[in-house]
Amino acid sequence: MNNKNIISVLGVCGSGTVSSTLLADRVKEILEERKIRVKATGVMPQMVKDYVDRGGIDIVVTTSPIPGEIKVPVIKGVPLLTGIGEDECIQEIVDAVSKILEEKEKAA
């Protein structure tokens, strides 16, 4: 497996420390259960645009609104904290990631 098959996830919350890391870890778990390799990082909302514009980020999962135009899928991650609507949220992430992997496959 090479880098192209690794999904890079950005977890985002207000202070960019605790909840964002929690989200990033949770998404990692969800995807790894589905045999998808993941690299996950937690950041603050203001940092997201720069991170994404620099390239290499595939998907953003957030508990906070994010300023600027983000070029990759942004998923609202609060259900991963509350458990309410969690299955739908997981499905949304899995669907988005499947699409990303297909596109990576095509580009390869």
Partner 1 sequence: MEEITISSDLIKLNLDAEDKDQAVTFLSDKLYNQGYVKKEFSQKVLDREREYPTGLPTKIPLAICHTQADYVNKNAVAVAVLKKPIEFQEMGNPGSSVLVEILFVLALGNPKTQVLWLRKFVKIFQNEKALLEIKNCESEKQLEKRLRELLTE
Instruction: Return the CA Rg of the chain.
Output: 13
CA atoms within 13 A on the CB side of 14: 1
DSSP class of residue 19 equals H
The Cα–Cα gap between 31 and 56 comes to 17
User: How big is the site for partner 1, counted in residues (CB under 8 A)?
Assistant: 22
Q: Which of 83, 106, 107, 108 binds partner 1 (CB under 8 A)?
A: 83
| Site for partner 1 contains 76 (CB under 8 A) | yes
Could you give the CA distance from residue 67 to residue 31 in angstroms, rounded to a whole number? 26
Backbone angles phi, psi at 106, to 5 degrees: -60, -40
Part of the chain binding partner 1 (CB under 8 A), chosen from 10-18, 32-40, 52-60, 89-97 = 10-18
Site string for partner 1, 29-68 (x = CB under 8 A): ----------------x----------------xxxx---
Contacts with partner 1, residue ranges (CB under 8 A): 13-15, 17-19, 21-22, 25, 45, 62-65, 76-78, 81-84, 86
